[in-house]
Amino acid sequence: MAKTNRITVAAPVVELDGDEMARIVWRAVKETLILPYLDVELEYFDLGIENRDATGDRVTVDAAHAVGRRGAGVKCPTITPDEARVEEFGLKAMYRSPNLTIRGILGGVLFREPVVVPGLPRPVPGWTEPVVIARHACGDRATELRVPGEGTLTLAFTPKDGAEPVELEVYDFPGPGVALATYDLDASVRDFARTAFRYGLERGCPVHLSTKNVSLKKYDGRCKALFQEVYDAEFQADFERAGLVYEHCGADAMAREVFKRPGGFVWACRSHDADVFSGIVAQGFGSPGLMTSVLLTADGRTLLAEAGHGTVTRHYRQYQQGGAAATDPVGSLFAWTRALAHRGALDGTPEVTAFARTLEQTCVETVEGGQMTRDLAQLTGPDRSWLTTEQFLAAVDENLGRKRAASV
């Protein structure tokens, strides 16, 4: 039910719906904590696997362009089908990840950050501040090949300016195997660097870049050099004034070093490293359900927020069998708040941004006060009582109502 005195959101937010349990939780968050408090137009796209199949995945492309046009979007986790999913849903094709399609259109950098709840036990107790993983959204694109048999693999480049072609022998295959060629652009890496440095400045956090430049001297070495170039020319003075630092180290060294620090920094990673390290960070802070995921373009104008977990298939199967929804909705809630805060900043409507920040604070305080869903309750002990998804959202709603009433 809509509350009185709803806050008006000046421009639309693009909503990208998703799959399975995440879709159920998504709707509950929206109906309990977003629409009752905000008068907001949602430009809706259904990225559920059935609709993506019905549209030949055109809906994903249309949704990405809508986010770019509006500047603010919020996305529910979606299925990336494998062979089993193709058979399960009777799909016409094994569609690529919607996130890959969207990132390819929007570009930018993906920031994955945990929600820190004071007092909640975490597997890495020394992490008291967020470890923010910055993933290059467009970097390290690849073309793969299944090598059928004996033969020579070469890598060739033909310049368009008429210069001599370059051809390198990669490997002389004695039999069947596989091959992979990856690529990146200087301009894209520079944007990656600018976005990471700007994010660090805005958050008051140092920035660390990790690469495999020792073994990939040209590929990752170029990334290291471009980051340093951008830092020296555009950000060093601002970082020094703010008392912040930037440094590069090897990926293996950084993976060890991160456990010695309390957090509170941006860790810029090559694309595949970021996928691995963000999973480690999620577990280190307690749960993938506490991870946020924000795609931010280099110019800072366009933001797409998403819960940092998957579609929670196991919970969905239990839900289909009549079980109560007990999935942690914190990640989905924070996806909405991050998108709304950005919408407020774009439109010059601080009341929208303030509402988003208040809702985030209320959510954290609700968990800190002992009201939480099952996966978080298990962090505190095997016998800890827990709330269903709906009960938890109702508790946040009640606490939010009291907070807003007290501020009037």
Does pLDDT of 408 surpass 70?
no
| Vertex 199 angle, CA 189 and 333, to 5° | 115
| Stretch 191-199: mean pLDDT | 95
Residue 404 pLDDT class (50, 70, 90 cuts): confident
The reported pLDDT for the residue numbered 309 is 85
Residue 200 pLDDT class (50, 70, 90 cuts): very high
The reported pLDDT for the residue numbered 4 is 63
Answer whether 197's CB lies under 8 Å from 235's CB. Answer: yes
Answer whether 191's CB lies under 8 Å from 209's CB. Answer: no
Does pLDDT of 407 surpass 80?
no
The reported pLDDT for the residue numbered 212 is 93
| Stretch 121-133: mean pLDDT | 92
Does pLDDT of 271 surpass 80?
no
Query: Which residue has 């797409």 as its token pair?
Result: 304
The reported pLDDT for the residue numbered 326 is 79
Does pLDDT of 110 surpass 90?
yes
The reported pLDDT for the residue numbered 90 is 96
Does pLDDT of 1 surpass 60?
no
User: Could you report how far apart the first and last alpha carbons of the chain are, in Å?
Assistant: 21
d(CA 285, CA 300): 27
Least confident segment among 137-146, 181-190, 200-209, 366-375: 137-146
Instruction: List, as own/partner pairs, every contact residues 63-67 make where C-beta atoms lie below 8 angstroms and the sequence separation is at least 24, other chains included.
Output: 63/14, 63/16, 63/102, 64/101, 64/102, 64/105, 64/106, 65/105, 66/14, 67/14, 67/16, 67/102, 67/106, 67/302, 67/304
pTM given for the model: 0.91
| Stretch 30-51: mean pLDDT | 98
Which stretch of DSSP H or E encloses residue 39? strand 38-39
The reported pLDDT for the residue numbered 321 is 85
**Would you give the DSSP letter of residue 208?**
E
Does pLDDT of 135 surpass 60?
yes
In tens, the pLDDT along 278-294 reads 889 988 888 888 889 99
| Stretch 333-359: mean pLDDT | 98
The reported pLDDT for the residue numbered 357 is 97
| Stretch 109-118: mean pLDDT | 92
Domains and CATH numbers, the chain: 1-122+285-408 (3.40.718.10), 125-137+188-268 (no CATH), 141-183 (no CATH)
The reported pLDDT for the residue numbered 286 is 83
